[in-house]
Amino acid sequence: MDCLFCKIVEGSIPSRKVYEDEYVYAFEDIQPQAPVHLLVVPKKHIASLNEAAPEDAELLGRVALAAQRVAREAGLGDSGYRVINNVGKDAGQVVFHIHFHVLGGEKLGPLNAKN
């Protein structure tokens, strides 16, 4: 599969891993947009939320809980953080393997949909 995040999950492209289990992989974003910027992905290839199916419900829950976990481990549990999932071209999705950004470590700007 010619997918950047599948290659990161399988280890053929290096990453700075912060968490891994049977279903989920999390790593540091290479171009951080905040003092903490992590990416959380399912190991299964799903191109975007648009392609997720009912049978992915449990897996997506695992990804959400892994986001909570890596945020807490990065020290953001009390200060808070933002979890972002870009879907498709108008949202600026660049990598078509579903991923949740975890951003924090500073007061984030308002989420005004335009940026």
- Cβ proximity to Zn ion, 47 vs 83, nearer residue: 47
99 is catalytic: yes
Binding at 3: pick from Zn ion, ligand AMP, none (beta carbon under 5-8 Å per type)? Zn ion
Q: Does position 115 bind ligand AMP by CB under 6 A?
A: no
| Residue 6 site contact among Zn ion, ligand AMP, none (CB < 5 to 8 Å, cut-off depends on kind) | Zn ion
Closest to Zn ion by CB, 38 vs 74, is: 38
Beta-carbon count within 10 A of 26 CB = 25
Distance CA 3, CA 111 (A): 29
Question: What's phi and psi for 80, nearest 5 deg?
Answer: 95, 170
Q: Does 46 bind ligand AMP (CB under 6 A)?
A: no
Residue carrying the six token digits 């989420």: 111
Identify each DSSP E strand in the chain by its residue range. Answer: 17-20, 24-28, 36-42, 81-84, 100-104
Active-site residues, by number, are 99
The residue ranges that bind ligand AMP (CB under 6 A) are 4, 15, 29-31, 39, 86, 92-95
